[in-house]
Structure 1
Amino acid sequence: MFFLYKKKYHLDKHGIVTKKSNSNIALIKYWGKHSDKIQIPLNSSISYSLDKVYTVTKLIYNIKEKCDKNISSIKVFVSGKKNYFFLQKVSEFFHRISFYCSYLRNYDFIIETYNTFPHSSGIASSASSMSALALCIMEIEKRFFTYFLKEAFLRKKASFLARLGSGSACRSIYPGLVVWGFHKSIKGSNDLYAIPYPYKIHSIFTNLMNTILVIDETPKKISSSEGHKLMNNHPYAKERFKCANRNMDSLISILKIGDIQEFGKLIEYEALSLHAMIMTSNPYFLWMKPNTLNVIHTVWEFRMQSKKNIYFTLDAGANIHLLYPIQEKNYILQWIYSDLIDYCKKVIESFCC
């Protein structure tokens, strides 16, 4: 394995690392993973990172008095409060990555983390939190090893590690458009870590606004992890994976020529396809709220009347991302605050970075 190596390293007695990582919003959705492998997707995905939607994580490490094969103590604080749910996820994450980062077994850890947005509500908080933690760990590795580790390697391994905590977290390691999962048309794409999108992107797609309408701030009753498992026996799963890969081929062409209308149609279709799979799982469930549908219908009506290039997408939750060119920002933001504000708890103005 590329990330396993036997070279000398030294251990600090204690230290502190702080890293920030952005959330991301998928355009082509990853939904469903191999049941017999750890965090391997059943279709490729592509996402934008978001500039004002992020997690900041501080990792404090102290060497254990007596070293053993186990990571003996991890304490997790989310926004200043102990969080036992996240502690379980982090403990499992550390167990998975200790094979690739054996030095972690020598330490006890305290993790202090906070988001700039509601967690567990469908705005990819697990992506930003796990990627921030993976970046912290790679900063520790950089300090420990007596030889120089290149930035490209640090990013690649951080993406590999982040994937073992949350699949979509591997995409949050990089800015811009990021691909995860093997796709025959994308050079360098693979299932183990994400890569920056390697092909030409029209300028209109390098200046996209992403305004998030927070319709429901409460944690989801059904987690994304539980939802992924329901794809294993889903009657429409195989066709969905084929469709997602066909849509990726379409998106490659769209990104090159700058067709914003076709881009919008595709991302809306992908969002609704994801939720169609959720609603037809067994057991079935529904993340959309009444105001999610109200916003969708209002966006469609506004776009038809105004001819503005505004399109929506959703992640695994009720909240809506509105994507539109920066050139149309002032007009569209004014409309959002006049016509959509009553449907949501808050508005987060972000940029696809």
Structure 2
Amino acid sequence: MEDRSLSREPSPGFSAAACAGSNIAFVKYWGVRKEPPGAGMPLNPSISMTLREAVTTTRVTFRPDSLPERDTLVLNERPGPPEALARVTRVLDEVRRRASLRAPARVMSSNNFPTSTGVASSASGFAALALAAAAAAGLPCAPQDLVDLALMGSGSACRSLYGGYVLWDASFGQEPEANPVRQIAAEDDWPLVDLVAVVSREAKKVPSSQGHLLAWTSPFLEARLSQARTAARIVEKAILDRDFETLCQAMEAEALSMHAVMMTSKPALLYWLPETVAVMQKVRSLREQGGVPCAFTIDAGPNVHVIALPEAAPEVRREIEALPGVEEVLFCTTGGGPRLLEADGPCD
């Protein structure tokens, strides 16, 4: 006979909605642990800035009387692909286990930014999902309570649980009781602008999940990890000191070292296009010859994030938009952490 004290069913329509911003990493991780403890966790710390204008809004509704008796996902007003639904269900299963719930969920999620533009929707998406699902199930919703849930969907999502500037410590998995994510500075402490130069909208042929494992085949991985750990300390201090010049040097060198690992893995990963290099060269020219405070960083793809001081952003944007092959320049600023919504309105 079933012990009903171990499970409870929410009333129909038991739901919550949340929104969360994406983030851009100033110090990135590339390569993950292959064996326990901490299998799948990054080999080095990472530091990111949460973005205000690139937001995912997600509603989670547990429906015990719904048919079919499985989770459903609507993503940008279309049925979510099977691989995305599988990741969402992994998060929801953990929520159900913690809350002793027995009910499928309907998840409706939308981004206010275009896809395949170099802005990571998985970070904002799973941060919003973790908060909305926890709230709908009546679980604690403080950022530190949501880290494990967000990580089940996307590594970078745990950084989007906080606003401003965020450090993810790579020691996670070795000491599970320790919170691996912390805020370095709030969004108002040092406003910066992220100008995303979109040079391609094509999906990556090799997803990051595969690339992380290929990192082990690069002869430069160990040197890169040492450099990234040092860069994390330098970048954290630069953020606290509002030292843009130091941030520029460390951020660009760190991104280039990560791509060196990609280019020397087996098989080699070359995400750059000629337009990628053109944007990088323009940014360096603006800074070194024109004294314009701006610097680049590049994720696993061809699009370039140009970080600038707010007063320089209009000039930088004009210069980047004028380059041949740049399809669009997205404008993002430093944003806050995720929040619950009282209604289905947008996350302003």
- TM-score, L = length of structure 2: 0.83
Does the 8 A contact of 2:87 with 2:152 survive in 1?
A: no
Equivalent of 1:124 in 106, 116, 120: 120
CA contact (8 A) 1:44 1:179 kept: yes
Determine if contact 2:279/2:320 at 8 Å carries over to the other structure.
no
2: distance between equivalents of 1:163 and 1:248?
20
Q: Quick one: structure 1 residues 90 and 121, their matched pair in 2 at CA, closer, same or farther if it must change by over 3 Å? A: farther
Alpha-carbon spacing, 1:190–1:100, altered in 2? closer, same or farther (3 Å): same
Secondary structure of 1:119's counterpart equals coil
Give the Cα separation in 1 of the matches to 2:182 and 2:259: 26
1:83 aligns with 2:80: yes
The verdict on how the C-alpha distance between 1:17 and 1:38 changes in structure 2, with shifts beyond 3 A counting, is: farther
User: Are the counterparts in 1 of residues 9 and 64 from structure 2 also a CA contact under 8 Å?
Assistant: no
Which residue does the alignment assign to 1:335? 319
CA distance in 2, matches of 1:61, 1:119: 28
2:197 to 213, 216, 231: 213
Matched residues in 1 for 2:69 and 2:230: separation?
A: 46
| The one of 182, 202, 217 aligned to 1:195 | 182
RMSD: 2.9
Indicate the residue corresponding to 1:179 in structure 2.
Answer: 167
TM-aligned CA deviation for residue 120 of structure 1 = 5.1
Inter-partner Cα distance in structure 1 for 2:39 and 2:112: 29
Q: String of CA shifts for 1:3-55, please: whole Å, max 9, x gaps.
A: xxx99977333323221111100111111221223542211111000111121
8 Å contact kept, 1:39–1:167: no
Change (3 A) 1:137 1:249: same
2:230 is matched with which residue?
246
Q: Cα gap change, 1:240/1:307 in structure 2, threshold over 3 Å: closer, same or farther? A: same
Aligned length: 325
Counterpart amino acid of 2:14? G
- How far did residue 224 of structure 1 move? 1.1
**Kindly tell me: are residues 267 and 137 of structure 1, through their superposed partners in 2, closer, same or farther at Cα, counting changes over 3 Å?**
same
CA 1:61–1:8 in structure 2 vs 1: closer, same or farther (change >3 Å)? closer
* Aligned AA (1:25): I
In 2, the alpha carbon distance for the partners of 1:7 and 1:216 equals 50
> 1:78-109: per-residue Cα shift (whole Å, max 9, x none)?
211112232233234445x35853535x1112
Change (3 A) 1:193 1:57: farther
* CA pair 17-257 structure 1, distance change in 2 beyond 3 A: closer
Task: Deviation per CA, 1:218-241: give whole Å up to 9, x if none.
Answer: 222111111112124433222222
Partner of 1:347: 329
Query: Aligned in 2, Cα 1:235/1:190: closer, same or farther, shift over 3 Å?
Result: farther
Query: Which amino acid in the other structure matches residue 180 of structure 1?
Result: W
Residue in 2 that maps onto 1:165? 153
Query: Aligned partners of 2:6 and 2:145: how far apart in 1?
Result: 16
71, 74, 81: which one aligns with 1:74:
71
**Structure 1: which 5+ residue stretches go unaligned?**
1-5
1:13 counterpart letter in structure 2: P
Any conservation in 1 of the 2:60–2:136 contact (CA below 8 Å)?
no
Cα distance change, pair 348–28 in 1 and its aligned pair in 2 (3 A): same
Tell me whether 1:258 sits opposite 2:242 in the alignment. yes
Q: CA offsets, 1:108-152, max 9 Å, x none? A: 12222121223355421111111111111121233xx6xxx4x5x
Distance 2:328 2:10 in 1: 45
Q: Deviation per CA, 1:179-218: give whole Å up to 9, x if none.
A: 11147xxxx99975421116xx898x71211111111122
Which amino acid in the other structure matches residue 158 of structure 2? C
Letter in 1 for 2:123: A
Residue in 1 that maps onto 2:345: none
- Greater relative CO, 1 or 2 (CA 8 Å, sep 6+): 2
The more displaced of 295-304 and 250-259 is: 250-259
What's the TM-score once normalised by structure 1's chain length? 0.82
